[in-house]
A and B are shown apart, each in its own frame.
Chain A
Amino acid sequence: MGELMIGLYVFTLATLAGREVITKVPPTLHTPLMSGANAISGISIVGALVVAGRAEGTLQIVLGVAAIAMATINVIGGFMVTDRMLAMFKKR
């Protein structure tokens, strides 16, 4: 089985797992869910580190740094603001 097929299996199964888990998130938490998803989509920092780490030309380095900066905004900002919101949810 080629890498592409493995990747497609992984993608499809992860989507199904995501659907199962996320359908059960109550409406009360939908905003933190979205900001949490922002943070998780900052996972492209992994890709950014790989390309920035092996970049050769100046342009590639600039693009890599910009990618790292954008992804870091999502990771740091996303997790922090989600935590800030969730800390406000209190039971009686």
Chain B
Amino acid sequence: MNTEIMVELTYLISAILFVVGLKRLQSPATARAGNAIAAVAMALAIGATVVDNQILSWTEILIGVAIGGIIGGLAARMVKMTAMPEMVGLFNGFGGGASALVAIAEYLNATHGGTAVGTSTYGVSIMLGTFIGGLTFSGSMIAFLKLREWMTGNPITYPGQKTLNALMFLGVIALSVMAMGVGGANPVTMFWVMLAVSLVLGVTLTIPIGGADMPVVISLLNSYSGLAASAAGFVIMNMVLIISGALVGASGIILTMIMCKGMNRSLTNVMFGAFGGTANIDKSQIGKRPVKRADAETVAMELGYAHSVVIVPGYGLAVAQAQHELRKVGDLLEARGVDVKYAVHPVAGRMPGHMNVLLAEADVPYDRLFDLDEINDDFPNTDAVLIVGANDVCNPAARDPKSVIGGMPILDVDKARRTIVMKRSLSPGFAGIDNDLFYNDNNLMFFGDAKQSMADLVKAVRELA
């Protein structure tokens, strides 16, 4: 068998293994093996490429691999689980950036002798790869800065923003056509201008999106990074690149839709609605009504003598680093014979599935975690619900179509016999509105810092008879 067929077959096996690896992600029990299979697929694809291509100089390649390997390895080992959204945001950018660079280098190689690429498949693929990759790169950097809070989470808007963005998009199309050699302008110059406009567009499309909507944005940019890889695949006509890019593209768009559904917003509304900051909401009337307060001992009695308890963790829990104490409370309650479940809302963390990872880190078994659809029917038969650092995701106002969060799927915690909200104050969540749940007759407010309150609760549950 000749080398070419061997190489192509290796690419085919690699593509199959990527799909098999992703399929294993359908259960936490097989997921780790699935990730390893995908890594093998990657190694095969890289091996086949090295065999297939005459590598003129290894030095440069090894330098690139060494730099990337060290940075990637350190980042993967050191990143805190709470910072996963930033890391994924940054990596989306690198994925897009790498694909754009491939397209750019290919364009420069092709036009080296003064020949234009022409309006061919090849030319169009280069333009698409450069545009999507460039936009993904700069957009991801903004998403990273917003998530890291090195930049304001409030939407940045200015008059004519949408028109300007639309004009820039049309500009990219026109410049791309000229960069392929149509119209007589210097194609290479037009190409650089097109790249610059793509990078600017990535920034101007991301800055009007509020911090609370970043989970949607990083999911969407995740999808784009895949599409950019596919476009790079069309440039060099490599099927494994096209296939893997398509898989990532599909994954990102599915997660984007799930997050939009979790917030009851359309993708258009997230992208162009400039929502998600809390700058323009009147907060003067919030938290003025009377509530029932409880201390750790009361809460311990409510939970300790219940048959069934559902715990609703929100991002405030992770901010306070209280997930380990929470798990201790859960364990103590289970030891007393209480049925303990955890209810995780789709937007509980700062990215899809984030809260589940934070709870897994605190050794909460994954078979005790339930999503919204799985647990909502259980609330009427639940004795007590403990809500820790969550707010909007259990605000009954979502049932009122006129509310800002009207129609958002919520956890029906108010249908349980007793609710206990652990929170610093009555301040509103991301949506910026008051939560009627706090003022219900069967609700208790357990005020304080989540970590301290949890520690007090652990002690109080231990002291129960």
Contact = CB atoms under 8 A, between A and B. Distances in A.
Interface of B: 15, 18-19, 21-23, 25-29, 31-32, 35-36, 38-39, 42, 45-46, 49-50, 53-57, 60-61, 63-65, 67-69, 71-73, 75-77, 79, 81, 84, 87-88, 91-92, 94-95, 97-99, 101-102, 104-106, 108-109, 112, 121, 218-219, 222, 225-226, 228-230, 232-252, 254-255, 258, 344, 346, 349, 351-354, 356-357, 360-361, 363, 365-369, 371
A66 B64 contact: yes
A67 B247 contact: no
B226 A22 contact: no
Given A38-B222, A43-B241, A54-B54, A30 B258 contact: yes
Contacts of A65: 60-61, 63-64
B201 to A, nearest CB: 20
A29 B94 contact: no
Contact of B352 (A18, A31, A52): A31
Contacts of B19: 17-18, 21
A74 B249 CA distance: 16
Contacts, number: 376
A42 B98 contact: yes
B353 A32 contact: yes
Given A46-B49, A88-B361, A34 B60 contact: no
Given A18-B19, A40-B42, 12 more contacts: A15-B247, A40-B38, A42-B94, A51-B109, A60-B105, A69-B65, A75-B42, A75-B68, A77-B91, A80-B77, A87-B32, A91-B367
Interface residues of A, number: 83
B65 A72 contact: yes
Interface string A48-69: 1111111111011101111111
A18 B250 contact: yes
Contact of A72 (B72, B97, B225, B244): B72
A4 B235 CA distance: 10
Interface SS, B side: helix
Contacts of A23: 254
26 contacts: A11-B245, A14-B247, A15-B246, A15-B249, A18-B246, A22-B22, A22-B254, A25-B22, A27-B353, A31-B88, A37-B248, A37-B251, A44-B102, A47-B238, A50-B49, A54-B56, A57-B108, A60-B108, A64-B105, A65-B60, A70-B101, A73-B75, A81-B76, A84-B76, A86-B32, A89-B32
Contacts of A29: 25, 28, 31, 353, 356
B113 to A, nearest CB: 10
Contacts of B218: 34
B56 A44 contact: no
B360 A40 contact: no
